[in-house]
Amino acid sequence: MDDRDLRWLTVLAETENVSLAAAQLRVPQPTVSRALARLEADLGAPLFDRVGGRLRLNASGRLAVGHARRVVHEIDTARERITELNHPERGLIRMGFVASLGESVVPLVLNRYRAQAPKVRFVLQEGHSNDIADWLAEGRVDLALTGRTRPDTVPDWKDVTWTPIERQRLCLVVADDHPLAEWGRVALVQAADEPFITFWPRAELRLLTEHLCRQAGFVPSVALQTGEVATARALVAAGLGVAVIPQPTTSTTPGTVHLPLTDPGAERQIGIAWPSHGRHSPAVARFLAFLQAPNPSEPN
């Protein structure tokens, strides 16, 4: 039994005539008769009563036609959805990203891409770098925006390809009445005695902060932890400590000053990660190419 036979059954049910059904389907009459015979053999019962040279659906036939219509509808729906999924401008893209990119980078990237492909659909999943490695391995996301946890290193994830796409300068954010606020730029060692507001232990920005502090010769005193850059800035504005975050490109939290760091390697490398093996859908392949292409709006 295949969906073609089920489609022909629904036409037969409407016409109740093999000749009319064959003409409507544009196939020879014997082909329709054989399809009906196959269905009746498969289902184990006649589906029509033969009355005066015409066909009349019987109880078994009415039951079969009801199910046939539902099966045909589900098959047609599946084909439509698969076509949609594999269309480069209307497909589905499942993207993971580290939480600290959710405030600025992710919205900017999606806004730029949706200008090119407004019908594409995204499912977003936010987490830590280690979460993203698992999601890629398990096939829960198609690709992910993440970064290096240490300068000049590539994430060592099995069966995952990672390539850099953008750099963010790191800065020390302080309250606007902090003694360092007038400095313009600072070395991280100048904040060695300050309480630090930082991120969860596995978070990429937390690992970068700890690496830069060790490089500067001290271990930061962690006063508070959060998962969001915006929250960290708000806590800094409240005078609860300082934080290392990416240099913002848009408006910032009132009451804060962002001081570029002069330390070597005080930058964040953002990259795109995807499974090394397997075939991308056209929508995902097109988005990957977009992410890896130079962005003319960014300074060199």
Same domain flag for 128 and 256 = yes
DSSP character at residue 181? G
Helix %, strand %, coil % for the chain, to 5? 45, 25, 30
Same domain flag for 49 and 96 = no
Q: Provide φ and ψ at 260, rounded to 5°.
A: -55, 140
Cα(50)–Cα(36) distance, integer angstroms: 13
Is 96 a member of any domain? yes
> What average pLDDT is seen over the chain?
86
pLDDT for res 299: 43
Same domain flag for 177 and 56 = no
Last residue of a domain, one of 69, 85, 101: 85
CB 235 within 8 A of CB 197: yes
Is 17 a member of any domain? yes
Enumerate the β-bridge partners of residue 272: 145, 163
Above 90 in pLDDT, residue 90?
no
Same domain flag for 8 and 78 = yes
Same domain flag for 185 and 145 = yes
Least confident residue range of 55-64, 152-161, 228-237, 249-258: 152-161
Same domain flag for 192 and 51 = no
Least confident residue range of 21-35, 101-115, 141-155, 261-275: 141-155
pLDDT for res 224: 95
Domain count, the chain: 2
Q: Where are the beta strands (DSSP E) in the chain?
A: 48-51, 54-57, 92-98, 121-127, 143-147, 160-175, 195-199, 221-226, 243-246, 256-260, 267-275
User: Looking at this protein, which amino acid is placed at residue 202?
Assistant: R
Same domain flag for 201 and 225 = yes
Q: What is the mean pLDDT of residues 17-40?
A: 88
User: Looking at this protein, which amino acid is placed at residue 231?
Assistant: T
Same domain flag for 236 and 105 = yes
Enumerate the β-bridge partners of residue 224: 197
Is 300 a member of any domain? no
Supply the CATH number for residue 154's domain: 3.40.190.290
Q: What is the mean pLDDT of residues 138-166?
A: 80
**Collapsed DSSP state (helix, strand, coil) of residue 83:** helix
Instruction: For residue 130, name the pLDDT band (cuts at 50, 70, 90).
Output: confident
Same domain flag for 283 and 141 = yes
Cα(192)–Cα(21) distance, integer angstroms: 85
Could you list the residue range(s) of the whole structural domain that residue 175 is in? 92-292
231-273 per-position pLDDT tens digit: 999 999 999 999 999 988 666 678 999 999 999 989 988 899 9
Q: Provide φ and ψ at 143, rounded to 5°.
A: -160, 175
Q: Find where tokens 């830069």 sit.
A: 212
CB 3 within 8 A of CB 75: yes
Is 297 a member of any domain? no
Same domain flag for 53 and 114 = no
Last residue of a domain, one of 68, 85, 102: 85
173-210 per-position pLDDT tens digit: 999 999 999 998 999 999 999 999 999 887 888 988 99
What the block records as the tokens of 78 is 């599946």
Same domain flag for 14 and 112 = no
CB 127 within 8 A of CB 203: no
Is 28 a member of any domain? yes
Last residue of a domain, one of 85, 113, 145: 85
60 class by beta-carbon count within 10 Å (0-12 exposed, 13-18 middle, 19+ buried): middle
Is 299 a member of any domain? no
Cα(38)–Cα(5) distance, integer angstroms: 8
Q: Count of CB atoms within 10 A of residue 168's CB?
A: 19
Is 186 a member of any domain? yes
Least confident residue range of 74-83, 156-165, 194-203, 234-243: 74-83
Supply the CATH number for residue 67's domain: 1.10.10.10
CB 286 within 8 A of CB 195: no
Same domain flag for 161 and 49 = no
Is 298 a member of any domain? no
